[in-house]
Structure 1
Amino acid sequence: MRRRRRPSTHAEPHLMAHLRTMVWGPAEFVGLPPGWLLGEGILAGSLGAAAIVGTAVLGAWTGRPSLADGEAGLVCAVALALYVALVGAGRALIGVTALLGVCLALQAPQAAAGVVLAERGRVQSVVVTSVEGGRGPDREHGRYLCSVTDHDGVPLKVRIWRGCEVGTRPGDALAVVYDPEGRVPPRGAAPEGPGPLRDLAPWGAALIAATVTAVVRSYRLPGPS
């Protein structure tokens, strides 16, 4: 009776190494990564984040919907993900970079509108006509929403949440800041505080960190000449 051969285990370490390289990248260096490689990752991540946010700000400032709505930012996020894929990054890090880039692109339009209002916005008083909140679909993120009219009695197309509180009643006055060129919608006037881009800082930092990690781990030792 012939004895069955047991499967060789010599290929298993090679298979695991191949899977690890495919998922996380080769990272074929000993000790700290080369400085130029860190610089490349920081440059790529910074340019990608700046392009995503910058296109949104440019779109809000000039009134170009394709830029202001974040579509150009999504293209920049995809381009950054393609870059880290082309340099040989692992699949997981490519996905993380793409996900963070998309999240930043989706967050950028609101912050870009805040930049425009902070730079050229003007404050005016409006009158509350109705307040919606509490239960139901009109309650967004735990906020109360005020429908308002301007000093001429013309209703604003957007509802205001800054300054609209549980004690706000129809007939009350609210301060709103608006763009005299009409390129971004008005919003409730906020007290002085950090800049409008502050909420994007964690997303931008995370995107840069993911890009640096992806680029660093893509490094392969030069083959024999």
Structure 2
Amino acid sequence: MHVRVRLSDRLLGASPREGNRPLWLVTEALVVSCVGTAIVVCAGLLAVLSGFSAYLSTAAVTVGVAAVVLYLLITRAGHLLVAGVAVLGALLASYGPGAATEVWLSGVGRTQDVVVTLVAYEPVPSGARGGPAYYCSVRRQDGSPVETRLWRGCGPSVAPGDMLGMLYDPAGRVPPRGVEGHQELLRSVGRTVPLLLAFAVLCFVAVVRSYRVPSALSSG
């Protein structure tokens, strides 16, 4: 029985499921949940706005997640809960920077028609799920090239000389995107927001369960 209790403490935290938690513990859990989530969000947003590559943006969010996980380990949170936070953080590191880019462009981006100069077809690797296969190299109407290739709006029916809509940041902080409605924005936000909420909730639970609340019998 003692071994089972110790194993439960290691996996799920020391606090039993029943019993009132002290106010300071709930407050600490709220602070860790809010601050930890803010660190992850700000790391992704700052990385995107700093013009980092997708790899560096993912690395920035990963560092933020690692800081939260380290704090939870220091507070002796349950290993299973900490692992859950790490997994959710890894998913946020993968999806978060893309969502931040989509939100930023939808807020400050401007649209411009560009001219297609080349259409390239790149087969999806075997075993990979979906993914764009057509990429369009484009130039502005004044003749200046656009460094980023566009895949939204590009397809087998597009030929050099055709016009495509491009959404871009006037300050150049994020790479441009092809214009294709709001589907990608909704998809990215709809995928990232639930992950953020689950990350915050799991951080809260991990901190709350990291402290064993004395029972009424033991205190009496």
Same fold (TM over 0.5): yes
Q: CA 1:79–1:166 in structure 2 vs 1: closer, same or farther (change >3 Å)? A: same
- 1:136 and 1:144 map into 2 onto residues whose CA distance is 6
Match of 2:12?
24
- Residue 90 (structure 2) aligned to one of 95, 102, 118: 102
* 1:174 aligns with one of 149, 164, 168: 164
Which residue is equivalent to 1:184?
Answer: 174
Provide the TM-score with structure 1 as the length reference: 0.77
In structure 1, C-alpha distance between the alignment counterparts of 2:124 and 2:54, rounded to whole Å? 32
CA distance in structure 1 between the aligned counterparts of 2:73 and 2:38, rounded to whole angstroms: 20
Alpha-carbon contact 2:119-2:137 (below 8 Å) kept: no
- CA separation of 1:102/1:124 partners in 2, compared to 1, >3 Å: closer, same or farther? same
Aligned to 1:69: 57
Instruction: Find the aligned partners of 1:129 and 1:155 in 2 and give their Cα distance.
Output: 9
1:141 to 130, 137, 152: 130
Contact (CA 8 Å) 1:55, 1:68: kept in 2 or not?
no
Question: 1:2-41 maps to which residues of 2 (within 5 A)?
Answer: 13-28=1-16, 30-31=18-19, 33=21, 37-41=25-29
* 78-87 or 42-51, larger mean C-alpha shift: 42-51
Provide the secondary structure at the position in 2 that maps to 1:26.
coil
1:49 to 22, 37, 43: 37
Instruction: Tell whether the 8 Å contact from 2:152 to 2:177 is kept in structure 1 after alignment.
Output: yes
Change (3 A) 1:159 1:46: same
User: Could you list the per-position Cα deviations for residues 41-71 of structure 1 after superposition, in whole angstroms to 9, with x for gaps in the alignment?
Assistant: 3432222122211222233334467997243
Q: Is the 8 Å Cα contact of residues 113 and 163 (structure 2) preserved in structure 1?
A: yes
- Give TM-score, length-normalised by structure 2: 0.79
1:133 and 1:40 mapped to 2: Cα distance? 53
- 69-78 vs 204-213, greater mean Cα deviation: 69-78
Q: Larger % of helix: which?
A: 2
Structure 2 residue runs of 5 or longer lacking an equivalent are none
Work out whether 1:210 is the aligned partner of 2:199: no
Q: C-alpha distance in 1, partners of 2:102/2:118?
A: 25
Contact 1:22 1:91 in 2 (8 A): yes
Displacement after TM superposition at 1:147 (Å): 1.8
Residues 90 and 218 of structure 1 are in contact (CA less than 8 Å); yes or no, is this contact kept in structure 2? yes
Computing the radius of gyration from Cα coordinates, the structure with the larger value is: 1
Equivalent in the alignment of 2:105: 117
SS at match of 2:15: coil
1:184-223 deviations in whole A, cap 9, x for unaligned? 1111124247666443201101211221221222121359
Specify the alignment match of 2:70 in structure 1: 82
Identical amino acids, percent of aligned pairs: 34
Query: What is the deviation of 1:109?
Result: 1.7
Task: Give the AA of the match of 1:143.
Answer: P
Partner Cα separation in structure 2 for residue 198 and residue 131 of structure 1: 31
- Pair 1:201 & 2:190 matched: no
Is contact 1:70–1:109 with CA below 8 Å preserved after alignment? yes
Q: How many residues align?
A: 212
